[in-house]
Amino acid sequence: MLSTARLLTLAALALTSATFTACSDDKEVAAPKYDVPATYTFANVNYSGQQTRLAMLGELDAYIKTANTGAVLDAQKLQNMYANTNNPFAASALNTAGKQLRDKTLSTVRAEYDGYLKDVATASLSANLPATNGTAGRLTSADGTKKYLVNAKGVELGQLIQKGLMGAVFYYQAVDSYLTDDQIGNAVDNKTVTPGEGTAMEHHWDEAFGYFGAPTDFPTNLTGLTYWANYSNQVDPALKSNKTMMDAFLKGRAAISNNDMTGKTAAAAALRTEWERVVAASAIHELNAAKGAVADQALKSHYLSEARGFVMGLRYKGDRKISDAVQAQVLAKIGDNLYLTTGTDISAALDLLSTAYGFDAIKGTI
């Protein structure tokens, strides 16, 4: 029989061994070493569906803008373009792509955008008439170079639709779907490789990048920026968002491909935070422009319509920084009748947004 002292010695040795083994295991699961490329040139990348929808919004927006020069819009064509039915697009590849904007719009606001499309078609019936408070038509800038179709309350619905769908489709799908645990969480398949698409986790990350609208060598290359990448570049002098966004996209995709789930999670969090900041800064950017054009109703309506679309977009992220109450206050200050919006109102909207996002030090430079 072993003595009590001998048993205690063996127990101590066993504890020491167990502790050493645990430390060894910790070392074995340390983050893997890997290189992060300078451009989005990974193996098996496909975000063609996102590029298709960006192109669809481009055609829809271009068609709506024909009313700025007097065209009457076809209400059914607008709905067809939104839902991709009856071959509405000039680019035939869009008609046969099997993709659409409407089914990717946040479900709770689809009917809202159906309504905006109907309303812009109705407003276009007066596209060749001058707009006044209470009457839809065209507003012309003081220098005569800009013409915008507005509704009876001075809202340029074309801009509201474009900026709104940037939020309700592109931003919403990226930050509240693809960059969440449902699509890139650790339970998502990251082993089975589909040629041309990668694993399910890699593909979902790529789709989020597709909705950003940047070239693979952004921000070194600023050619052909669309939608959010374009606006990130516009607010970049104040936010430095270009590098923040692209670095996170690159680091996250590299992390997924190298099974670094900690790195992936950190990159996704950085993207979701910075993308929301870009949306808020884009709204401030347009509000600043409106503040400088209060005396010119055409320009004021144009910029405020853009700002309203961006502010609406902030609600499409579940864990948004701005509260519902403050967002509602911003929209109230912008107003729904843009003829009545004053410079004081615009300044108040700016201050509310700036405070919510910690932009007070830079709000005048965005």
**Residue 363 within any structural domain of the chain:** no
Task: Look at the chain and report how many structural domains it folds into.
Answer: 1
Position 5 in a domain? no
Domain assignment present for 253: yes
8 assigned to some structural domain:
no
CB-based contacts of 297: which residues, under 8 Å, 6+ apart? 139, 154, 338, 339
Task: Look at residue 21 in the predicted model and tell me its pLDDT.
Answer: 32
14 found inside a domain: no
Collect all residues with Cβ–Cβ distance below 8 Å to 168 and sequence separation of at least 6.
Answer: 105, 106, 109, 113, 312, 313, 316
Residue 24 within any structural domain of the chain: no
pLDDT digits (tens, 9 = 90+) for 187-243: 999 999 999 999 999 999 999 999 999 999 999 999 999 999 999 999 999 999 999
In the prediction, which pLDDT does 220 show? 98
Burial class (CB in 10 A: 0-12, 13-18, 19+), 302: buried
The pLDDT value recorded for residue 7 is 34
What are the per-10-residue average pLDDT scores of the chain (366 residues)? 37 33 44 93 97 98 98 98 98 98 98 98 98 98 98 98 98 98 98 98 98 98 98 98 98 98 98 98 98 98 98 96 98 98 98 98 95
Residue 35 lies in a domain: no
Please tell me the pTM assigned to this model: 0.91
- Residue 204 belongs to what domain range? 48-357
Alpha carbons 4 and 212: distance in angstroms, whole number: 69
pLDDT in tens, 58-95: 999 999 999 999 999 999 999 999 999 999 999 999 99
Res 358: pLDDT: 97
Q: How far apart are CA 266 and CA 333, in angstroms?
A: 36
